[in-house]
Amino acid sequence: MNKVTPTDHPFNSNITLEQISSLERASQRDNIGRAWYKFSRNPMSVVGLSLVVSLILLAIFAPYIAPYPKHAGPFTDFPNAKTPPGLDYLFGTDQIGRDVLSRIIFGLRSSLLMGVVVLVLVVPPGVMLGLLAGYFQDTWIDTVSMRITDIFLAVPPLILALAVASVLKPNLWNGMLAVSLMWWPWYARLVYGLTTTLRNESFVSAAEVAGASTWHILFREILPNTLSPILTKISIDIAWVIIIGSMLSFVGLGVQPPEPSLGTMIADGSRYLPDQWWISVFPALTIVLIVLGFNLMGDGVRDMFASEES
Amino acid sequence: MSLSRFLIRRTAYSIFVLLGLSMVIFIIARIMPGDPARMAVGARAPQWVVDRIRTHMHLDQPLPVQYYYWLKDALQGDFGLSLITQRPVTNDIKEFLPASLELVILSALISSIAGIGLGILSAHYKDTWIDNLVRVFSYTGIVTPSFVFAILFVLVFGFTLDWFPIIGRISDNLTAPPLHTGLITIDSLMAWQPKVFIDAIWHMILPAMALAMGSIAQAARITRSSMADNMSKDYIAAARTLGVPERLVSGRLLLKPSLIPTISILGLDIAATISVAFLVELIFNWPGLGRYGMTAMLHKDLNAISAVILIFGAIFIIANIIVDLVVAYLDPRIRLRAARSD
């Protein structure tokens, strides 16, 4: 790390631009190093991160990793149906002879896609609404948007998501839409709370007095200070969105067969309990593994930001 | 601000929220493709019947007017006919709601007792193997969706060990007690049929456990951390130094304030189990409102869907008020803060 001595302090006129930018780069490298140190101090966070990364890699390279890629589609092999787990089929085969392991690997795709797409859809509008309502506290913008938020928060998101999904055509994209419609209020509420506190901070007043535009205050002064709680919430929420997505497909309102999805596999497989337990139990354990990975990683993200503030 | 004014304000706001919810539900029900009038009379009815029904159902009027009529009927307990059962939705709800309530109440009991108990145990034996065991358990409980628990329970305790029945509310060889409340446990006690009572509880254990696992884990985790926080506070050390009896220290001084965060989270969790009951009831073939609502959703039975969501919303909101009241009662600081801000 470059040591800052009085002679090369940025305010000293002798310093060159190159020196400043190299100092900045060093401090950025430093920040990343410090963040990683805080994240990895708890070994479980690293376990979570590795779990998440491996699951994502499995999903991306599913066609090359899955032992029977063809089984992810409309494939039947009745002579080998309901084969218990063994060397040929590590997790056994389902009621029409498809390899459960291959279908799980392909099923990861829709689960992870659900988590990512929903959060990409809900975070920007939720954050935007929270920022506006919080900054214009006690105006009509606050009243209208926060009362609407309260209405959506009044019911567990699963129920409304099920209701919306049920009136739309059941498929993965409408499932994502249904969950997204119910998820933005959580971000609006979170950012609203943070913004109402931040707007009274002296740096915001300073910017106001200096004549900064509302736009500048919202996005340059307030938003950067809300990022760490938002990122922490995102890292925890992905798991919940994936659970809700699997619940939708479990009841038949999400991904449609023959497209593999963990929820559908559990639902179909539960009809063959207890004799062919592997058809439903392995997909169920996979969901637990996904959620565990994201939760452990989320804890790490929280540690990373929490210690930064203290 | 006194507790009664707090209650009035909270209730008034809840009514507003419920009205808003009803509007959301109305909009959801109306975005569905298809003609509600045609669906109500069936595909083979002649056109003039459809037209007459349309006028009768106010479907030829603008949306706000339709909403007004829909809300007016809903407030009088009239949600229309269910497409699946061909009965008034209100009758269906009266039949199915008690079964769900019974399940949710038992699961609430289980999660409060087990969750708080495990939390206390974990805090008391902090950093020993007991603590570690409870922490691993609560992590597992939090990351496992309840429908996964339901399936594992059916497999392990239902089929493999054969300890519990996995379908329905009572055994086939028993007759249900005469209906008063619809809650089989209470009805069987009222009719003094202890055998039925035990059988009904036996049937409820697995689904209630599946519902409760998440909240048990959550409650245990929060109780542990808040007790561990308070244990190291000065007032506890001071009380011990002053010779306050240990029973009082750990009971009133340590436990009571430590339970406040647990209760507020647990209350919301329990209220949210109502939504999870949708899936768990399906798995256990439990004749409750969740399974009814789920069937309605899969068959696009709009009247039933609207009613079920509105009722679950109302239950959730009432549960929230109760939690707020209990917490305000337990925590004098909240009452003081409310009084100052008033």
Q: Which domains does chain A have, with CATH numbers?
A: 54-305 (1.10.3720.10)
Token pair of B75 as six digits: 């407030």
* Segment A20-46 mean pLDDT: 82
Query: Which is nearest to B287 in space by CA: B198, B168, B200?
Result: B168
Per-residue model confidence as pLDDT tens digits over A35-44 = 888 888 888 8
- What is the pLDDT at residue B220? 92
- pLDDT at residue A18 greater than cutoff 80: no
Name the amino acid, one letter, at B95: E
Average pLDDT over residues B122-143: 88
State both tokens at B200.
């009904």
Average pLDDT over residues A241-246: 91
- Tokens representing A42 are 């708890």
Mean pLDDT of B28-50: 75
Sequence letter at residue B132: N
Closest residue, chain B, to A170 (C-alpha): B298
pLDDT at A8 over 60: no
Share of chain A above pLDDT 90, in %: 38
pLDDT at A14: 62
Q: Among all chains, which residue has been given the structure tokens 């009514």?
A: B15
Of A105-109, B102-106, B169-173, minimum mean pLDDT range:
B169-173
Q: Name which of B171, B203, B175 is nearest B103 in CA terms.
A: B203
> B155: which DSSP letter?
I
Report the distance separating Cα B120 and Cα B130, nearest Å: 11
Helix (H) / strand (E) element for A269: namely helix A262-269
Q: Which of B15, B100, B148 has the highest number of chain A CBs within 10 A, making it the mutation to test binding with A?
A: B148
CB contacts, 8 Å: A242 with chain B:
none
Whether A251 and B294 lie within 8 Å, measured CB to CB: yes
pLDDT band with cut points at 50, 70 and 90 for residue A11: low
> 26-65 in B: which are within 8 Å (CB) of A?
28-29, 31-32
* Separation between Cα atoms, residue A30 and residue A22, nearest integer Å: 12
Residue A101 has pLDDT above 70, yes or no: yes
Measured between alpha carbons, how far is A138 from A144 in angstroms, rounded to an integer? 10
A310: pLDDT confidence band, cut at 50, 70 and 90? very low
Query: Residue A175 contacts by C-beta under 8 Å, 6 or more apart in sequence?
Result: A114, A165, A245, A248, A249, A253, A254, A255
Angle at B196 between CA B192 and CA B197, to 5 degrees: 75
Distance CA B248, CA B117 (A): 18
**Residue B170: per-residue pLDDT:** 79
Compute how many other C-beta atoms are within 10 angstroms of the C-beta atom of residue B36: 17
Q: For residue A12, with 0-12 CB atoms within 10 Å meaning exposed, 13-18 middle and 19 or more buried, which class applies?
A: exposed
CA distance A255 to A261: 6
Query: Which of A154, A252, A288 lies closest to B17 in CB terms?
Result: A154
Q: How far is Cα B304 from Cα B291, in angstroms, rounded to an integer? A: 12
Question: pTM for this one?
Answer: 0.83
A-chain residue closest to B298, CA distance: A166
Which CA distances in Å does B80 have to A253, B66, B77, B87? 25, 14, 9, 8
Residues recorded for chain B = 342
Q: Give the per-residue pLDDT at A286.
A: 94
pLDDT at A122 > cutoff 90: yes
Distance from CA of A220 to the nearest CA of B (A): 32
Percent of chain B exceeding pLDDT 90 equals 12
For the segment B53-100, what is each residue's pLDDT rounded down to a tens digit?
778 777 778 888 888 888 888 888 888 888 778 889 999 998 899 999
Could you give the count of Cα atoms lying within 13 Å of B316 in the half-sphere of its Cβ?
27
- B300-338 pLDDT, tens digit per residue, is 788 888 898 888 888 888 888 888 888 877 777 766 665
Q: How many helices (H) and strands (E) are present in chain B, helices listed first? A: 15, 0
Residue A105 confidence class, pLDDT cut points 50, 70, 90 = very high
Residue of A nearest to B149 (CA): A284
Query: Does residue B1 have a pLDDT over 70?
Result: no
Instruction: List b or e across B260-285, with b for residues whose CB sees 16 or more CB atoms inside 10 angstroms.
Output: bbbbbbbbbbbbbbbbbbbbbbbbbe
Amino acid at A73: G
Which residues have a Cβ under 8 Å from the Cβ of A95 and sit 6 or more positions away?
A81, A82, A268, A272, A276, A279
What 3-state DSSP class applies to A136?
A: coil
Q: What percent of chain A has pLDDT over 70?
A: 94
- Measured in degrees and rounded to the nearest 5, phi and psi for residue A138 equal 65, 20
CA distance B242 to chain A (A): 34
Model-level ipTM above the cut of 0.85:
no
Q: Which of A164, A166, A270 lies nearest to residue B300, judging by beta carbons?
A: A166
Q: How many of the other CB atoms lie within 10 Å of CB of A89?
A: 22
Which letter, b or e, does each residue of A170-203 get, where b requires 16 or more Cβ atoms within 10 Å of its Cβ?
Answer: bbbebbbbbbbbbbbbbbbbbbbebbbebbeeee
* Residue A215, pLDDT above cutoff 60: yes
Quickly list H helices, A92-171. 100-135, 140-153, 157-167
**CB-CB contact of B104 with B274 (8 Å):** yes
Q: With 60 as the cut, is the pLDDT of residue A300 above it?
A: yes
- Provide the CA A161 distance to its chain's centre, in angstroms: 17
Contact criterion met (CB below 8 Å) for B326 and B130? no
Mean pLDDT of chain B, nearest integer: 84
Chains A, B: CB contacts within 8 A come to 120
Pair B64, B72: CB distance under 8 Å: no
Q: Which tokens go with B230?
A: 């308070």
Give exposure, A129-165, as e/b (b: 16+ Cβ within 10 Å): bbbbbbbbeeeeebeebbebbbbbbbbbbbbbbbbbb
Q: Which amino acid is at A83?
A: T
**Which residues contact residue B174 at a Cβ distance below 8 angstroms, ignoring those fewer than 6 apart?**
B195, B196, B199
pLDDT beyond 80 at B25: yes
pLDDT tens track for A48-99: 999 999 999 999 999 999 898 888 888 888 888 888 898 888 898 988 889 9
Phi then psi for B299, rounded to 5 degrees? -105, 10
Per-residue pLDDT, averaged over A148-168, amounts to 86
Write the pLDDT tens digit of every residue in A164-184: 888 888 889 999 999 999 899
Q: What mean pLDDT value characterizes chain A? A: 86
Higher pLDDT, B106 or B272: B106
For residue A210, pLDDT over 50 is answered with: yes
Return the HEC string of B216-258: HHHHHHHHHHHHHHHHCCHHHHHHHHCCCCHHHHHHHHHHHHH
Of B84-93, B115-124, B206-215, the one with minimum mean pLDDT is B84-93
Closest chain A CA to residue B19: A151
The tokens of A92 are what?
A: 């056994």
Q: Which of residues 10-29 of B touch A (CB under 8 A)?
A: 16-18, 20-21, 23-25, 28-29
Query: In this structure, are residues B278 and B305 in contact, taking their beta carbons and an 8 Å threshold?
Result: no
